[in-house]
Amino acid sequence: MNASLPEPSALAQSASRALKVRIAERIGKRRGWIPFSEYMQLALYEPGLGYYTGGAAKLGVAGDFVTAPEISALFGQALAHQVEEVLAATRSEILEVGAGSGQLALQILGELARRDALPEHYRILEVSPELRERQAQLFKAAPPDWARRVSWLDELPESLSGVIIANEVLDAMPAEIVVRSAGHWLVRGVVLDPEGQLGYQDRSASAELAAALRARVPGPGQLGDGYTTELNETAQGFVATLAKKLEHGAMILIDYGFPAAEYYHPERRQGTFMAHYRHRAHDDPFFWPGLQDLTTHVDFSALAAAARAAQADVLGYTSQSHFLLNCGILELLEGSAEDPSKWLPQTNALQRLLSEAEMGELYKVLAVGRGLSQPLLGFARGDRGSAL
């Protein structure tokens, strides 16, 4: 597999080697073994060297993956209609977590400006210094009336009201990989072999992890030996923290994933872990650590449970295609038809966002929050909250 992937530049290789030394030190300190979640944390977020905290190009043609706002501005414009509804009810602000290139923020602000519904503040919480700089550059060239509303947070506020948005952020949070063996769970860890190569080693799951799996995995008895899956307690904790802080408003989480019954389906035997490098998805987390994205799909049932445990309401859950259609993406397309040269590319982009074979069905939208009447615009038709 690795042989078929393109070689990184010499500079990138040397950053990756430095990260590997850091990972090896950590494994040494932990007596030869770290859980996969700790490896994922280091590979993505180690200061200065991780995939998100180092210099990798990440999003876009020169990077490793493309997200919905990079495919079409119609995505952010449609989402803006949902945002507008919540802003009208809360008279408050927007917080975007993990804003990538900044395109989504630009699309949302542009559409809100067109509808005379701009909020005073659009705050961004961004862990990547490189992406934060890209976002700042993008807004330097934006209309000043939008740009002056944008600011960056270094940490979460004590409390907030309004709309929280996270598109494709939770899939990058460090997950635990677990494996079924003789009626028990093993936890996958990372070790160094005598030649200094990184590899997997499974151990018995701790009592805490086994209990967390009991709470989240329906019907583990049906999962045979070797069944491999993941549990993402970091993502659950993140949603719980934000749900507690949200006094009035909604948190809109968009990502690829399923409810628990599908996530832990007996036929999904290999789990959902995937690495993304130069627009190719593969399953080797040890290929040039720090130079590729590492992801797992999202268990939306777990996120809904985390929000409910924080006394927040589940406001809606549906596929990306239903959500965007409910938010009026087709009307936006019709409205953009004045320029015939844009018609074909716009239609192709829409097809990628909505088609069941592409992002329309695999990607879901979950809204949780407090103090809002339901249904929200994006979930008016096709709500699947009962599947969570």
Ligand X SMILES: C[S@@+](CC[C@H](N)C(=O)[O-])C[C@H]1O[C@@H](n2cnc3c(N)ncnc32)[C@H](O)[C@@H]1O
Other beta carbons less than 10 A from residue 200's beta carbon: 14
Asked if residue 236 binds ligand X (CB under 6 A), the reply is no
Q: Are 243 and 251 in contact (CB under 8 A)?
A: yes
Main-chain phi, psi angles of 384, to 5 degrees: -120, 30
Is 69 one of the binding residues for ligand X (CB under 6 A)?
yes
Rg (C-alpha) for the chain, rounded Å, is: 21
Q: Please, are residues 35 and 189 in contact by the beta-carbon 8 Å criterion?
A: yes
How far apart, in whole angstroms, are the C-alpha atoms of residue 300 and residue 68? 19
Which positions from 117 through 146 interact with ligand X, judged by CB under 6 A? 125-128, 131
- Distance of closest approach, residue 242 Cβ to ligand X, in angstroms: 11
Q: How far is the CB of 297 from ligand X (least distance, A)?
A: 13
Among the listed ranges 65-73, 109-117, 174-182, 343-351, the one in contact with ligand X (CB under 6 A) is 65-73
Nearest distance, CB of residue 20 and ligand X, angstroms: 21
**In the complex, least distance from residue 381 CB atom to ligand X, rounded to whole angstroms:** 24
Residue of the chain from 39, 52, 122, 263 that contacts ligand X (CB under 6 A): 52
Residue 165 or 209 with smaller CB distance to ligand X = 165
Tell me which residue has its CB nearest to ligand X: 98
Stretch that binds ligand X, among 3-11, 93-101, 184-192, 194-202 (CB under 6 A): 93-101
In this structure, the chain runs to a length of: 388
Q: How far apart are CA 6 and CA 2, in angstroms?
A: 8
Residues 157-186 that bind ligand X (CB under 6 A): 167-169, 172
Task: Give 305 or 359: the residue with its C-beta nearer to ligand X.
Answer: 359
Q: CA end-to-end span of the chain, whole Å?
A: 36
| Number of residues lying near ligand X (CB under 6 A) | 19
Please tell me whether residue 226 adopts helix, strand or coil conformation: coil
Chain residues 318-377 in contact with ligand X, contact rule CB under 6 A: none
Could you say whether residue 99 binds ligand X (CB under 6 A)? yes
Q: Which of 35, 54, 100, 110 binds ligand X (CB under 6 A)?
A: 100
- d(C-alpha 314, C-alpha 134), whole Å: 33
- Segment near ligand X (CB under 6 A), from 12-20, 95-103, 153-161, 223-231? 95-103
Residue 267 Cβ vs ligand X, minimum distance, rounded to whole Å: 27
Residue whose pair of structure tokens reads 């339901």 in the numeric block: 374
Residue number with CB closer to ligand X (131 or 213) = 131
Q: Which residues contact 71 (CB under 8 A, 6 or more apart)?
A: 349, 352, 353
Alpha-carbon dihedral 303, 255, 281, 209, rounded to 10 degrees: 0
Q: Give dist(CA 51, CA 383) in Å, integer.
A: 35
User: Could you tell me if 250 and 376 are in contact, meaning their C-beta atoms sit under 8 angstroms apart?
Assistant: yes
Q: How near is the Cβ of 305 to ligand X at its closest, in Å?
A: 20
* Binding stretches for ligand X (CB under 6 A): 52, 59, 67, 69-70, 97-100, 104, 125-128, 131, 167-169, 172
